[in-house]
Amino acid sequence: MSRLGAVGHKLYTGEVSLNFVGRRKLWYLISAVVLVIAIGAVLIRGLAFSIEFRGGVDFQAPVASGSAQNAIPGVRTAVVDTGVLGRAEPIVTSIGANQVRVETPPLSTDNIAKARTAIAKQLKVGEGQIDYSSIGPTWGAQITDKALLSLGVFLVLVMGVIWLYFREWRMSVSGLVALLHDVAITVGIYALVGFDVTPATIIGVLTILGYSLYDTVVVFDKVRENTRSISSGSRWTYSEAANLAVNQTLVRSINTSIIALLPVAGILFVGAGLLGAGTLKDLSLALFIGIAVGTYSSIFIATPLLCDLKEREPAMRALSRRVEQRRAGAAAKSAASGSAGPAAVSGTPGGAEGGEPAASGEDQGANGTRQSVPATSRAQGRPAGRPQSTSSRSAGRSQPQRKPRSTRRPKGHGR
């Protein structure tokens, strides 16, 4: 932990810096490839919407003997043999170790009774032990419309809140693109693995969007702090200051994500995998994917995209030119001092020794170079430019003047 803390301190102070913003084209390419795969999975495989969205009849029955997983083929065959489904196929899954779930298209009351009797006979249980619920297609369509509406309202509110907080529309656009990126990848993974899209999935998606937004806002807040009044200076470009902000919040983002992923992974792999809880599986998968993808987008997508939009401003372009000119001048001075050698003292540009920064206006002479250092000062073992010290007794007292030898009186004369 101490080593991780030391790394975090170096990232925060800029002693160690990972160039996230400078390599943004690589991150864009990686995200583009993943998005193409995700969208292709949705178009080719499609999403497996649960019965709440498509409508139908949901049967749930206990298994008298054996495991529910072994009873699935027999239950499927028994329902198909009734002929109530026509050419449709029932969806039979297990709930836990001793319960079976059968989903069928919408059925009439008589057909529901026939299917119920067939399931009870196959599982050797009473018909009264089989619970069922009928969901009409209209109700499923309403659920779909409300889910899409809630997602749209959430995204609009996100843009408004970010703009009001930062007073910067580019941050709103970057945050929105990152959220859409997270939604697309999450939906694509659902299509790839074939998990049902249930109302719990929608809740999970909205939850991870809020988490991703929180992570992005934390990074943006540090970007704003680092870039405040940056246009009046010439030390950093906007992208460099934003990259420092990402590095400063990197350890916090990773730690927060790991802490959030651990319990979600426990729900997904232990609760849903071993216990077979369907609702937990739908919710935990959305949370697990969303937290991981949201952390990625807040670091690799949102801030680099913000820099792309911000660097288009005339003020930021002018800042980049000033920074380049300042660094080019410093490099030229450093090269000139290196070619002159250590013997060249007079007129040495600032930064000649040990890669020092260029001299400020106070350290430069009228010709724009650093004032020469007298060699006698160095020979006397004192720092250059420091005056000779005088004793307190002689301070302020006029010293006697020695006469030239030609005007001195010879000894022995004049008496």
Q: pLDDT value at position 396?
A: 47
Instruction: Answer yes or no: CATH 3.30.70.3400 is held by domain 56-135.
Output: yes
Range among 137-141, 165-169, 268-272 with highest mean pLDDT value: 165-169
pLDDT score, position 88: 84
Summary mean pLDDT of the chain: 77
Residues of the chain with CATH 3.30.70.3400: 56-135
Interatomic CA distance for residues 379 and 389, integer angstroms = 16
User: Strand order of the sheet with strand 56-62?
Assistant: 91-94, 99-104, 56-62, 131-135
- Highest mean pLDDT (candidates 142-151, 184-193, 391-400): 184-193
Tally the C-alpha atoms within 13 A of residue 69's C-alpha that lie toward its C-beta. 5
Place 366 in a pLDDT band, splitting at 50, 70 and 90. Answer: very low
In the chain, residues under CATH classification 1.20.1640.10 are: 2-48+139-316
**End-to-end Cα, the chain, rounded Å:** 94
Instruction: Give CATH for domain 2-48+139-316.
Output: 1.20.1640.10
**Averaged pLDDT, 22-49:** 92
The pLDDT confidence band at residue 346, using thresholds 50, 70 and 90, is very low
Nearest to 241 by CA among 185, 147, 319, 163: 319
Cα radius of gyration (the chain): 38
Total-model pTM? 0.69
- What is the structure's pLDDT at 13? 63
Does 312 have pLDDT greater than 60? yes
Q: What is the mean pLDDT of residues 306-324?
A: 87
| % of the chain exceeding 90 in pLDDT | 19
pLDDT confidence band for 246 (50 / 70 / 90): very high
pLDDT of residue 296: 92
Mean pLDDT calculated for residue range 336-360: 44
Buried b (16+ CB within 10 A) or exposed e, 357-391: ebbeeeeeeeeebbbeeeeeeeeeeeeeeeeeeee
More confident: 315 or 352: 315
Cα 198 from chain centroid (whole Å) = 28
Give the C-alpha separation, 320 to 401, whole Å: 62
Q: What angle do CA 382, 385, 391 make, to 5 degrees?
A: 65
Looking at the predicted structure, is the pLDDT value of residue 354 above 50?
no
